[in-house]
């Protein structure tokens, strides 16, 4: 929980800032990989959140802050 909330997961955007040489694109789509993209905006993440919404009637989070703020508190 803390790693995502504090945004310290080594997503490709952070690796590139650390002089990593590689492709910045998400493995699941053609967008640049960031924490927000990987957990919220990626089509695969949206599919997973929609599945959770349908299965458990829980609204998906709208951003990383809400994921660990109000969203998890409501689960």
Does residue 2 register a pLDDT over 90? Answer: no
Over the stretch 6-24, which tens digit does the pLDDT of each residue have?
Answer: 556 778 878 888 888 888 8
* Closest by Cα among 28, 30, 35, 46 to 3: 35
Residue 4 is predicted with a pLDDT of 55
Q: Is 1 a residue whose pLDDT tops 70? A: no
- The string of pLDDT tens digits covering residues 32-72 is 888 889 889 999 999 999 999 999 888 888 888 777 666 55
Domain assignment of residue 61, given as a range: 2-73
Which segments of the chain are extended strands (E)?
Answer: none
**Based on the structure, what is the number of domains in the chain?**
1
């Amino acid at each position: 929980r803390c790693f995502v909330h504090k945004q310290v997961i080594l997503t490709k955007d952070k690796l590139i800032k650390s002089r990593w040489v590689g492709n910045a694109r998400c493995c699941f789509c053609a967008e640049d990989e960031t924490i927000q993209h990987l957990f919220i905006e990626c089509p695969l993440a949206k599919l997973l959140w929609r599945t959770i919404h349908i299965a458990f009637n829980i609204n998906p989070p709208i951003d990383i802050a809400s994921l660990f703020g109000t969203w998890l508190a409501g689960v």
